[in-house]
Structure 1
Amino acid sequence: MPIRTNRGRTAVYRRLWGWPLRSPRHLIGTLVFLAIVLTALGIVLPKVIGRPASAAGGPDGTSASATPGPGLAVPPPAASTLPTRLTGPQATPSTAAPSQDAIKVAKEWAAAWVKHPNGITNAQWLEGLRPYTTDEYLPVMSTVDPANIPATKVTGEPAVMTSYTSSMKLVVPTDGPKLSITVVNSPAGWRVSDYDQAS
C-alpha cells in the first residue's frame, strides 16, 4: 500500500485552493488580486476585440472628441451597430377624394373657433370645440385664450389643400387670419387634430 505524503499534484492543488481560507488577511488579498485581474481584463479585452472600453471614449474616461495635439489626426467616430427604429419603408398614404363629412367638421370647428363673445371663459369656448376636436388635441387648445383670437366670423367655404384616406388639410378664411386645419378620421369620426394660421 502506497504511503500518502504532502507531495504530489493533489497536495499542491489542495494548498493553492486552501491558501485564501487560512486567514482573513489571505482572503482579502485574494479578493483584491481578483478585482485587479477582472478590471485589467475589462480594459484589455475590448481593445483586443475592437470595441470601445466605455461610452466616454477611452478606458480612462476621456472623451474621444477631445482636441488632438498639433500634428495629430482626429480618429473618425465609431459607427453605431444599433439597429434603426424603423424596420422597413412606411406606406405612403394614398390620396382620396375629399370627404364631405371632413369638410363639414372643419367648417363647424372654424365657426366654433371664431365664436368668443366678451367674457367667455376658456372652458366655455372649449365646450364649443369639443364635438369637433380629437381628445388628444383638446389639452393643447386649453392653453389658448379666446380673448386673443383676432377673428370673429368665417368668411368663406373651406378649401381642400390635401386629401388622403385618413386625413385632410383645409384652409378656412375668416375676417382675421386664414386657418389651416388638419382633420383626421378617428374612431369617433372626422375630428380636428391641428390648426395653424395659413400662409
Structure 2
Amino acid sequence: MPIRTNRGRAAVYRKLWGWPMRSPRHLIISACVALIFITAAGIVIPKLTGKADRAAAESTRSNVRPTPVTRLSTPGAAPAPTAAPTSLPTRLTSPPPPPSSAPAAPQALDTATRWAHAWVDHPEGTSVEQWLNRLRPHTTEEYLAVMAKVDPANVPATKVTGPPVAKLSFEKSVEAEVPTDGGVLRITVIRTDQGWRVANYERGD
C-alpha cells in the first residue's frame, strides 16, 4: 500500500537510516554493501567514459584526411641527396710585392739635374710665373700646382754645385740628391707618359 503522508515517509526514512545502527552485524553488512557499491562504481564509470573518449577520437580521426605529398622524381633515378651548405673559403688578398730595385735611368738623373738648375734660377725680380715656366718641362702637373705656392725669393740656393747621386732606384721612380750652394736637394723623379718628371723634393743640410 503506498505511503500517502509526509509523516509516514519520514518514519520509513528513519527505519532505513537507523537499520545499520541497530546492531554490529547490521553495521558490518552496511559497510560491506557501501564498499561493494563504491568499487563497482570505480570500475564501471571509467570504462563508460573511456568508451566515450575512444569513440570521439575515432570520429575525429575518420574526419581528418591526410594531405597527400606530391614528389617529382625521374623513374628509375635515385633520390637526389640534399646538398649540405658549404662555406666559401675566405679569400686572402696578399699585399702587392714591393718594387724591385733597378739601375737608375740616365734620363731620370738628367731630369733631376735640369730641375735643380731651374729651381736655383731666380734672379731678383723673378715672378712666380716665370719661375714656374722654367720648372714646368721637368715637373708633373700635380706637383707644379704645389710649387705655385712657393715664393722663389725664399729659395736659398743660387747654383748647382755637383752632379746628381741616385739614392734609391726602381723601374719607375728614382730618388736622387743634387748638391747646391744652399744645401742638398732630395728630388723624386717618376716615369710618366710624357717621360721622367719631378713629383717631389725636400731640402737637406
Give the TM-score range, shorter chain: 0.5 to 0.7
2:170 to 164, 168, 187: 164
Partner of 1:60: none
- Secondary structure of 2:133's counterpart equals helix
Equivalent in 175, 185, 204 of residue 198 of structure 1: 204
Are 1:155 and 2:161 matched, yes or no? yes
Distance 1:163 1:176 in 2: 25
Q: CA deviation at 1:91?
A: 2.0
Aligned to 1:137, what secondary structure does the other structure show? helix
Residue identity in the other structure for 1:194:
N
Deviations 1:84-122 (A, max 9, x none): xx9431221011111000000000000000000100100
2:110 aligns with 104
**Which of 166, 185, 191 does residue 185 from structure 1 map onto?**
191
Aligned to 1:59: none
- Please show how residues 139-154 of structure 1 align to structure 2 within 5 Å: 139-154=145-160
Q: Runs of at least 4 residues of structure 1 off by over 2 A? A: none
Q: CA deviation at 1:198?
A: 2.5
Separation of aligned partners in 2, 1:189 and 1:198: 26
Tell me the secondary structure at the aligned position of residue 180 of structure 2: coil
TM-score by length of 2: 0.54
Equivalent residue of 1:173, what SS? strand
Please list every run of 5 or more consecutive structure 1 residues that lacks an aligned counterpart in the other structure.
1-85
1:1-199, aligned counterparts within 5 Å? 87-199=93-205
- Cα distance in structure 2, aligned partners of 1:150 and 1:97: 31
The SS at the match of 1:136 is helix
Computing the radius of gyration over CA atoms, which structure comes out larger, 1 or 2?
2
**Cα pair 1:171 1:198 within 8 Å, conserved:** no
1:116-163 per-position Cα deviation (integer Å, ceiling 9, x unaligned) = 010010011000000000111011000000000000000000011000
Deviation of 1:177 after TM superposition, in Å, equals 1.4
Secondary structure of the structure 2 residue equivalent to 1:128: helix
Q: CA RMSD in A?
A: 1.6
Distance 1:97 1:167 in 2: 10
Residue correspondences, number: 115
C-alpha distance in 1 between matches for 2:189 and 2:163: 15
Q: Indicate the SS of the match to 1:156.
A: coil
Q: Percent identity?
A: 51
Q: TM-score, normalised by structure 1?
A: 0.56
